[in-house]
Structure 1
C-alpha cells in the first residue's frame, strides 16, 4: 500500500486549494469519503474523522442559511476533529467563513474547478482511494485481458509467458503487465492486476527485445488494469501426466487471502497455448453462468438408458 496524501487528490482531480496549502502532505488512511450531515446538527457519535469530508450543494446551502453565530458554531464543531481535508463540489463562492476556519486549524480546503454533482464526484474519488490504499503485492509473470477477464500467466523463466501473451495480443486481446504484475486487493473477493508504471505498455520477447505494444499494435493492445479471474501456470511437458477427464478438479491459487481459480497448461511443440487460454477463459465464463459441458454430456448419456 502506497502513501496517499491530500496532494495526490489535488493532482488527480485538478482541485483548487483555497486554504491549507502547507498541509497538502497530510496522509489519507481511509478509502471512503464522508458527507457531514448529522454532524452539522450536532450528532458526532459515528463521525468518521479520518475520512476526507465532502461538502456538496446541500451542505453549503444549509450553512449559508444559518446566522453568522450559528454557522461558526456548526463549522467549529467539525473542524476541531481535524479531518484530512474538506472538498467542496458546489463552487467556491461565499466560502470565506470556511476558508478562515481551515486556515486557523491547518486543514486543507479544496474545491472542484467547476460545480459538479456531488454523488458523481464521490464515486470517482472513492474508487481512486480504494485502489490507492489497497494492499498490494508484486509477482513475476504476465497479466493479460482475454474476453474482458483478467488472466495471470505464470511459469519459470523462459517457459514462454511473454511469447504466449504476444500471440494473444495478435488475436485481439490486451496486455496489462509483463514481467512484474502488481496485484491489489480491492475486497475480500477481488484482486486487481496492473503494472508497476516502469513496464507500462512494454512486452519483452527473447531474441526480439523490448516491444511497445501500443506503438506497434495501437491503443487497443493495452489495458491499464483488470480484475483477475484466472491464474494459469505454464509448465514443461510431462509424459503420461495429462488426462482426459470430463471435468478437471477445481484448484486455486491464493493471493493476499483471495482464492483465484488455477489451471496448469503443459507445453509441447505444436500445442496452441494461446488457443487453450482462450478456451479456458470462455469455459470459465460459462461456468459463471451456471453451465457445465461435463454435466450436459452426462445427461445425454443418461437419456439413452
Structure 2
C-alpha cells in the first residue's frame, strides 16, 4: 500500500496552497473526503476523524451568513477533528477564522477551481487506488474488448507473444512480465503496471518493444478491472474433454476470487482467438445468457417424445 501525502494530492490535482506550505508531508489515513455538516454545529464523538474536509459553495455561503464569532466557532469545530487538510472548491475566498485556526493547528488549506462534486470524485478515486492493498504477480495483463484479463503461465510459454497477437487485433496491453494487482473492494481487483514496465512488451527473438511507439496510443491502457484469470499451459494428451460447460473455477488474489480458465497450447492453435472467445463469453454470462441453457432448451422437445 502506497503512502499518500498532501504534497502528492497538491501535485496530482495542481492545487493552490493557501496555508501550510511546510505541512504538506502530512499523511492521508482515510480514503473518503467529507463535507462538514454536523461538524459545523458542535462536537460529536461518533463523527469520523482524519478525513480530508471539503468546503464547497454551500458551506462557504453558510459561514458568510454568520457573525464573526459564530464563524470562528464553526471553523474551530472542523479543525478539532484534525483533518489532514481542508480543500476550498470553486476558487472561493477562505472564510473568516480559517487561516488563524489552521495555522495554529498546522493544517494545510488548499484551493481548486473544480466544483465540490468534481474534486470529491477525483480525490476519492485517486486515494482509494493509491492506498489499496497490492501485490505483484508474474504474468501479462491485457484488456480484451473492454474486459481485463490476467495471463499467467511458466516463463517462455508464450504469454507476451499472445499479448502481441491480441494487440494486433485491436486490444490493449496493460502490463508485461510484472502485473500489479490492487484490491479496491472485496469483489474488485485492478490490474496495472509498475511504472517501469509501462508500455513495454518483451518478445523473445525480437527484444523490447514500446507498443505505443509502434502501434499508437490505442495499443496501451493504464489499468483495468480483472475479470478473468487465464493460465497458458503446455499441451497434454487426453487432458481435454468435451463437456458442454465446465464448472467455474476460481483463482484467489488477496481474498478476491477471479474466474479461472486453463488454455493448453499446441502449434497452430489460435490462442488469441480462444482468449477473445473467453472474454466475450464471460460478458454474455454477466448479462444472464448461457449457451448451454439455450442448447438444452432446443433439445427438450426430443426428450419429451
TM range (shorter): over 0.9
Count of aligned pairs: 303
Aligned-CA RMSD value? 1.1
Preserved contact between residue 186 and residue 192 of structure 1 (Cα < 8 Å): yes
Partner Cα distance (1:38, 1:212) in 2: 52
Residue aligning to 2:64: 64
Residue aligning to 2:234: 236
Preserved contact between residue 23 and residue 106 of structure 1 (Cα < 8 Å): yes
- 1:62 counterpart SS class: helix
Q: Are residue 291 (structure 1) and residue 289 (structure 2) matched?
A: yes
Partner Cα distance (2:43, 2:300) in 1: 66
Q: TM-score w.r.t. structure 2 length?
A: 0.97
Residue aligning to 1:7: 7
Change (3 A) 1:280 1:39: same
Partner Cα distance (2:17, 2:132) in 1: 26
Residue aligning to 2:16: 16
Residue aligning to 1:97: 97
Residue aligning to 2:187: 189
Instruction: Identify the range of structure 1 (270-279 vs 67-76) with the bigger mean alpha-carbon deviation.
Output: 67-76
Residue aligning to 2:224: 226
Preserved contact between residue 141 and residue 181 of structure 1 (Cα < 8 Å): yes
Q: Deviations over 1:105-158 (max 9, x none)?
A: 10010000x2x3211221111111111111111100000000101000000000
Change (3 A) 1:71 1:95: closer
Q: 1:127-276 residue pairs with structure 2 within 5 A?
A: 127-276=125-274
- 2:250 counterpart SS class: strand
Q: TM-score w.r.t. structure 1 length?
A: 0.97
Q: Give structure 1 stretches of 5+ with no counterpart.
A: none
Partner Cα distance (1:120, 1:44) in 2: 28
Structure 1 stretches (4+) deviating beyond 4 angstroms? none
Q: Give structure 2 stretches of 5+ with no counterpart.
A: none
Partner Cα distance (1:165, 1:284) in 2: 19
CA drift of 1:292 comes to 1.2
Preserved contact between residue 229 and residue 259 of structure 2 (Cα < 8 Å): yes
